[in-house]
Structure 1
Amino acid sequence: MTDQLNDDEKLLAKLGYKQELNRNWSGFSNFAISFSIISILAGCFTTFGQAWNNGGPVAMSWGWPIIALFILLIGFTMSELVSAYPTSGGIYWWAAKMGGPAAGFFTGWLNLIGLLAVTASVAYGCATFFDLTLSTISAGWADGYSLGRVYLIFIIILALAATLNIFSGHLLAILNNISVWWHVAGAASVILILVFIPDTHQSFDFVFTERINNSGFADGKYWFLVLPLGFLLTQYTITGFDASAHLSEETNGAAKGAAQGLWRSIAYSAIGGWLLLLAFLFAVQDPAGVSEGGGAVDVIFGQALPQGWHFMVLLISTAGQFFCTIACLTSASRMTFAFSRDGAIPGSSKLSKVNPKSKVPANAVVFVAVIGAIITLPALKGIGGIPIAFYAITSVAVIGLYLAFLIPIYLRWKMGDSFEEGEWTNGKKYKWMNIIAIAEISIISVYFILPFTPAGNPLDDTFTWESVNYAPILTGGTLILLAIWWHSSAKKWFTGPKHTIDSAVIEAFDD
């Protein structure tokens, strides 16, 4: 039997699984999905206001490349892991393999929480920019703005993305390949438009030294509270790259292709995103006007561009964000499928089913879309039309995903030289790379559960529920429930990844 398997199937069988999903993704397609989920046409546009209001230009001109380097180190540590363990479970499977059932259980749930949140946040951002795009060509549409309408568009976008995901795994690979070139050509087009169309540009001094604090916190807290909150832009945009791991069971030459796809998606996005943000900052015509507009990047486009070019920039971004939504839903559904395959999610028997025709976990796709719609319901409320809930969801995505990354990164460091390396490795550099990655994740996880404004602090006189960053409530509350579930029940039956292939076959590979 083993002689009939190719190298990818043999490695998967050695890890305990038979090939159920179609392995029709190339190494480029694997890179493409992570690059699409990172999506500089999404994060750089939708969370620009967070960095503008919390730090200003320096949060982007200096903050972006510095934080991106730390994230690249995290990517290198994870690339080594996916090379050794190329399974759909990805992050959770690594933790269970190296740290046991409890490590796998909590890592899996953190990863799932993060993926559900990032899918919801990207789809909501896409809905917001679709609404903005239409408002540039219809005065009536602009006058009728409402959070309810944006939420309805958000639901439609989730439904469309789910339909495309269910239809065909092969179609998804094609869409993600198209998405890469859309992001490259689209970002380049936006940069060129902002370079050549505006009549005037800001100085280097403004772009690289200007500080802005619209957070409501005192200026004395700028360096240690306000500016770090602005780093949510970078940390949120460059995330979701674990998709390369979740799609590894569908990737040819996964031990190398998935590892390279993961770190390269980070590196290329970091460069492209920085150039894009610099183009935004140089195109600012009236900084005070941007602040009055809530720090929204669309205000810059309205200041600097004629209506036609303004529409074009928004259209490019909106399409990129839709591609990103599709990719996020793909990644989250594969994680749901893998985690359910091992019985860790209520309703696992249904969520782990694969459509016999399309070879896609359709039930898992629907599950991700429905949960995304539910957790974004607070976005129906906002302050002056700005839903703080959106930034809360992005915080949940960052905290959930990066804490899930932290656990296997730490476990790999703890294993030391006993770790069985795959085809792609960091060599001895893992000793310092993993420690830096752990420290960075620990620090940002603390910052992103803090209130975004004084009004989000329950002890402040200006407190309002609309201002609350509910990231700690959602993530912390879920973890408390999971801890109760684990100690009262799950630890008795959850033993980690379940093999779907005969143990004799696994032993044959080990011999």
Structure 2
Amino acid sequence: MTQTSTPGSPADDFYSFHDHDDAAHLHALGYKSEFKRDMSPWANFSLGFTYLSPVVGVYTLFAYALATGGPPMIWSFLLVGLGQLLVALTFSEIVAQFPVAGGVYPWARRLWGRRYAWMTGWVYMVALLVTIASVVYGAGPYIAATLGIDATVNSTISFALALLALATAINFMGTKVLAKAAIIGFTAEIIGALVVGIWLLVGHRHHNLGVLFDSFGAGGDGNYLWAFAAAALIGIYQYYGFEACGDVAEEVPDPGRLIPKAMRRTIYVGGAAATFVCLALVLAVTDIPGVISGENPDPVSSVLNEAFGPVGAKAVLAIVLISFLSCAMSLQAAASRLAYSYGRDGMIMGSSLLKKFSTTRHVPPYALLLAAAVPAVIVVGSKFSTDAITKIISFAAFGIYLGFQMVVLAALRARLKGWVPSGKYSLGKWGLTVNVAALIYGVTAMINMAWPRTPDAAWYDNWIVALSAAVVVGIGLIYMVVHPLHDRSTGPYADAIPDPARTAGL
């Protein structure tokens, strides 16, 4: 929701003061923003929430998690939420000092240097573009179900491309429209989550809370910890929307104070909503052993049809589709700001286009087109190989975590070299402890994501997550050698560390 005011009102004075203060801060960091600060704190939080999208995350992985780990898999939401809160707190200190559009790339640039920042941005950019493709592709079957038609490969691709086009159109309308759309998406998703959850808990609950401690034999005769770790991917998949709040730092007034608050709220509210939705679904599943055995591979549809009937289930699916659209829209906004930030610093081939800015819409049009074209190509590719798109998408969550942890590592290195966060938000004496704990959590989560769990599959399928990450990093390293534009980028870098050696640009 964009703040409106009349001339001379307190709100007008607030925004005028902070516009000047924010411009001065950005100028001191070496930039003059072309964005308009039209995104209110509420809209900034909504953007992070819709990027996280608890409904999309839970509905996408619920069947897998319940079949793999049984009802106790829900406790992963708490564990992952605490871990990602540590990451969000570390990011909060960074964005408060460096409120620059683009998120992880400019943060890594200021904390470490140009080459490290290039690779951080590259990994995260690929992960975002792949995630956009996975979200719109995942929405295809839900659109088909809403329309009452069969979800074929062709229909899924067509619906995915239509959803991607709509998200792109919304983003092209500018920050004000994006902010309003984010708030609408948040409102629809939170109301939908509450209504569906309460209805299931009140009228269609088949189990009591004790079931959350019963694995129903999931994991077989082995150590249940391994089954829980695999099922915990549903929690890991949830908590990375908070970073989007910082991607649009140049579109938010007083970002050093407001964005850290929005990041924390995204974790609190998004995590609570995701846990509530998952809880309601678990307690409403009639035959949990049937899900674990594979007899019921789609428990979400079964629960919704049983609880709401054909017509009501379609109404719920409509809410789910709004969630998919909002999620794709927010991801695209984040990816476009990252690409624009790359272009503004002259870091990659095509920078002259990526840095172009629409003076009427106040958005980077070519960066937005990139955030639409690449996901579209990935989606269309599924026409030729569904297995190939599955392998590409396998990198999505891992790549986002890898990009996050590269920033967390850069922050820890900078602290050890003397960096003391100087923004409006600071953890004080707890900064180092939180930073170390965030790194430990993130590395543990990535190992869990990459761990091979399909011993009967070919070795490359068993290690697909780690292999896809190696391929992305390898391509990035080759590009850096062949086309080293990053070494000629003249924008400020490595200035967080109070050391003359920062000019080395390593």
TM-score (norm 1): 0.86
Matching residue of 1:10: 24
Matching residue within 223, 226, 239 for 2:225: 223
Deviation at 1:107, TM superposition (A): 0.9
Name whichever of 485-494 and 310-319 sits farther off.
485-494
Corresponding position: 1:237 with 2:243: no
Question: For 2:436 and 2:109, how far apart are their aligned partners in 1?
Answer: 20
Matching residue of 1:148: 154
Question: For 1:280 and 1:239, how far apart are their aligned partners in 2?
Answer: 22
Letter in 2 for 1:407: M
Matching residue of 1:87: 100
Unaligned regions of 5+ residues in structure 1, if any?
Answer: 136-140, 460-466, 500-511
Corresponding position: 1:176 with 2:179: no
Matching residue within 367, 372, 375 for 2:370: 367
Question: For 2:267 and 2:106, how far apart are their aligned partners in 1?
Answer: 22
Question: For 1:8 and 1:250, how far apart are their aligned partners in 2?
Answer: 10
Question: For 2:312 and 2:153, how far apart are their aligned partners in 1?
Answer: 26
Name whichever of 82-91 and 441-450 sits farther off.
441-450
Matching residue of 1:472: 466
Corresponding position: 1:29 with 2:43: yes
TM-score (norm 2): 0.87
Corresponding position: 1:131 with 2:180: no
Question: For 1:306 and 1:418, how far apart are their aligned partners in 2?
Answer: 58
Corresponding position: 1:349 with 2:331: no
Matching residue within 478, 484, 489 for 2:478: 484
Letter in 2 for 1:245: G
Letter in 2 for 1:205: G
Count of residues in Structure 1 that have an aligned counterpart in Structure 2: 473
Letter in 1 for 2:188: W
Secondary structure of the structure 2 residue equivalent to 1:71: helix
Question: For 2:314 and 2:192, how far apart are their aligned partners in 1?
Answer: 13
Matching residue within 51, 65, 69 for 1:51: 65
Change over 3 Å in CA distance of 1:69–1:420 after alignment to 2: closer
8 Å CA contact retained: 2:97, 2:423: yes
Question: For 1:63 and 1:170, how far apart are their aligned partners in 2?
Answer: 36
Corresponding position: 1:78 with 2:91: yes
Corresponding position: 1:411 with 2:413: no
What RMSD in Å do the two structures reach over aligned CA positions?
2.6
Corresponding position: 1:107 with 2:115: no
Change over 3 Å in CA distance of 1:316–1:270 after alignment to 2: same
Corresponding position: 1:117 with 2:130: yes
Name whichever of 171-180 and 46-55 sits farther off.
46-55
8 Å CA contact retained: 2:19, 2:37: no
8 Å CA contact retained: 2:248, 2:337: yes
Question: For 2:443 and 2:224, how far apart are their aligned partners in 1?
Answer: 20
Corresponding position: 1:321 with 2:324: yes
For residues 116-154 of structure 1, what are the alpha-carbon distances to aligned partners after superposition, in whole Å with 9 as ceiling and x for unaligned? 12222222222232222233xxxxx2xx33123112211
Question: For 2:423 and 2:254, how far apart are their aligned partners in 1?
Answer: 12
Deviation at 1:210, TM superposition (A): 2.2
Letter in 2 for 1:404: G
Secondary structure of the structure 2 residue equivalent to 1:54: helix
Change over 3 Å in CA distance of 1:293–1:368 after alignment to 2: farther
Secondary structure of the structure 1 residue equivalent to 2:395: helix
Question: For 1:213 and 1:393, how far apart are their aligned partners in 2?
Answer: 28
Corresponding position: 1:207 with 2:212: yes
Matching residue within 181, 186, 196 for 2:192: 186
Secondary structure of the structure 2 residue equivalent to 1:72: helix
8 Å CA contact retained: 1:133, 1:311: yes
Name whichever of 145-154 and 26-35 sits farther off.
145-154
Deviation at 1:333, TM superposition (A): 0.9
Change over 3 Å in CA distance of 1:296–1:121 after alignment to 2: farther
Question: For 2:488 and 2:301, how far apart are their aligned partners in 1?
Answer: 48
Deviation at 1:493, TM superposition (A): 3.0
8 Å CA contact retained: 1:42, 1:320: yes
Secondary structure of the structure 1 residue equivalent to 2:472: helix
Change over 3 Å in CA distance of 1:390–1:482 after alignment to 2: closer
8 Å CA contact retained: 2:348, 2:485: no
Change over 3 Å in CA distance of 1:152–1:351 after alignment to 2: same
Secondary structure of the structure 2 residue equivalent to 1:285: coil
Question: For 2:424 and 2:197, how far apart are their aligned partners in 1?
Answer: 38
Matching residue of 2:439: 438
Deviation at 1:236, TM superposition (A): 1.5
8 Å CA contact retained: 2:73, 2:228: yes
Question: For 1:125 and 1:468, how far apart are their aligned partners in 2?
Answer: 22
Matching residue of 1:396: 395
Question: For 1:354 and 1:269, how far apart are their aligned partners in 2?
Answer: 32
Matching residue of 1:506: none
Question: For 1:183 and 1:399, how far apart are their aligned partners in 2?
Answer: 25
Change over 3 Å in CA distance of 1:219–1:341 after alignment to 2: farther
Alignment of 1:290-329 (within 5 A): 290=291, 291-329=294-332
Name whichever of 306-315 and 185-194 sits farther off.
306-315
8 Å CA contact retained: 1:105, 1:496: no
Secondary structure of the structure 1 residue equivalent to 2:167: helix
Deviation at 1:12, TM superposition (A): 0.8
Deviation at 1:389, TM superposition (A): 6.5
Matching residue of 2:9: none
Secondary structure of the structure 2 residue equivalent to 1:364: helix
Change over 3 Å in CA distance of 1:122–1:424 after alignment to 2: same
Secondary structure of the structure 1 residue equivalent to 2:459: coil
Name whichever of 24-33 and 4-13 sits farther off.
4-13
Question: For 1:212 and 1:52, how far apart are their aligned partners in 2?
Answer: 11
Matching residue of 1:340: 343
